Amino acid sequence: MISENPRVRFAPSPTGYLHVGGLRTALYNYLFAKRNNGAFILRIEDTDRTRLVEGAVKNLITTLKWAGLDFDEGPGKDGGFGPYVQSERLALYKRYADELVQQKKAYYCFCTSDRIKQLRDEQQKTGLQSKYDKHCLHLTENEIRDTLKNNEPYVIRLNVQPNELINIEDIIRGEVTFNSNVVDDQILLKSDGYPTYHLANVVDDHLMKITHVIRGEEWLSSTPKHILLYNYFGWEIPKFAHLPLLLNPDKSKLSKRQGDVAVEDYRAKGYLKDALVNFVAMLGWSAGDDREFYYLDELCSSFSLERVNKSGAVFNIEKLQAMNFAHLQKKTDGELLNLLKEEVAVSSFNDHLLSDEKLLLIIQSMKERINFVKEIILNASYFFIAPQTYDQDAVKKRWTAESAGLLQKFAETIRGVENPSKEDFENALHQVAEIAGVKNGAIIHPLRLAVSGVSGGPGLYDIIFILGKEETLGRINIALEKIII
């Protein structure tokens, strides 16, 4: 039974770009919130100061908004539970850490990094789990007081009791049980006064009234520490849902070594946000049928955590490309026009302005031939600028001794036609071919080379109609001068 008006959060660290796994976590939180009339909260977990990247928070918010995942509360959008950046909440963490120390549920640790390293080395040599040995738990009150007076650096550790069973009710994985003997006396507050993830996470989730914690599988092993903290504080434990890993095709964990992992990379390559969001949603979830094509609002009405799989999901780039093609085909010409104009604006053809009317004709001729809008520019630059070179293999294969004469005849025929339509161009070519006693292809192939420089692409009559009579004539003349066999 889902609580009324659930509250969920996406809590990334601002350490760089948004990983596609992070996008999926954000998406599932967003979908769960929208499906159940809840709130989707963005919280920035920036307590690991060594990994911060300048501008990462702004980039993160921009990327989430690009994907359509607008948060209900977060930086710049206070819902009464802020601040939503952990570095602005340090006094809270110190207060709660001190409370645990007073209750003997946490303790001061003054061990140096050298001692900790030596301890770990010894444990590794003997095959023991790497854990803190509770050395400082046994310091006397006087020893603790004197050491603090000397301003010696310290951390605060969780005091884990041995031989306790810690049960986790996971929405995706069912009941998962840990023995407290495998749980380390985790550091809660570091010597620099910043909390670790574990303390800050639990304190913030409680104070922000988070009802469901939806996060990656890699955090499952940390959950016993969080359960202990909830119990030590006497707080209500939220419901947990740990999402399956994203995998490379070889079933290894998805990593940059085998391809792009940043959402920004896919955006820069021209993937549509609808397609990327649709694809990521299907990485570990289905509605229980064969349907795969969704828009975001349809995902919101269909999503449930109970339908998320336990096993890892393979990130198949070919499937993403197919998804992008499917979404592109569903776009209206008007939508594609706006996208194409954006691509032209950042291309080398930004000063070759074409009318919306011509751009729409280009879109209609190319739509079924592309996976990405930018491919219109990459694969059909001839619509924007006359070819500078000609495909030599095509010239050898398609340009014959009679090609120049046939193109001259075609040019003469259309020169006298006012505002020729696509049918006028086609009729003129058929007429020249019939008079010359050749097949239409004897003119079509060299004419395509002359106006585009290549042998493939959309229909020839589409190309020359879009270019227009004068541009077509000009390109024929240039080709006749440059192509010599």
Q: Output the pLDDT for position 3.
A: 58
Residue 470's CATH number: 1.10.10.350
Number of domains, the chain? 4
Q: Which of 169, 155, 171, 306 is nearest to 224 (CA)?
A: 169
pLDDT for 1: 46
Burial class (CB in 10 A: 0-12, 13-18, 19+), 334: exposed
Q: What is the rounded distance in angstroms from the CA atom of residue 421 to the CA atom of residue 468?
A: 9
Are 95 and 220 in the same domain? yes
Question: ∠ at Cα 379 (361, 457), nearest 5°?
Answer: 65
Q: At a CB cut-off of 8 Å and minimum separation 6, what does 140 contact?
A: none
Question: Of 276, 282, 284, which Cα lies nearest the Cα of 243?
Answer: 284
pTM for the model stands at 0.92
Which residues of the chain have a pLDDT value below 50? 1
Which residues are identified as catalytic? 256
Asked whether residue 375 falls in the same domain as residue 395, the answer is no
Q: Which domain holds residue 475?
A: 386-485
Q: Is residue 325 part of a domain?
A: no
Residue 324 belongs to a domain:
no
Residue 322 forms part of a structural domain: no
Q: Of 344, 364, 380, at which residue does a domain stop?
A: 380
For residues 201 and 86, give the distance between their C-alpha atoms in angstroms, rounded to a whole number: 9
Query: Does residue 187 share a domain with residue 46?
Result: no
What confidence tens digit (pLDDT) does each residue in 18-41 have? Answer: 999 999 999 999 999 999 999 999
Please check whether residue 323 lies inside any domain of the structure.
no
Q: Cα(107)–Cα(138) distance, rounded to whole angstroms?
A: 9
CATH number assigned to the domain comprising residue 285: 3.40.50.620
How do strand 313-314 and strand 165-170 relate by DSSP bridges? unpaired
Q: Are residues 120 and 214 in the same domain?
A: yes
Query: Are 253 and 284 within one domain?
Result: yes
What is the length of the chain?
Answer: 485
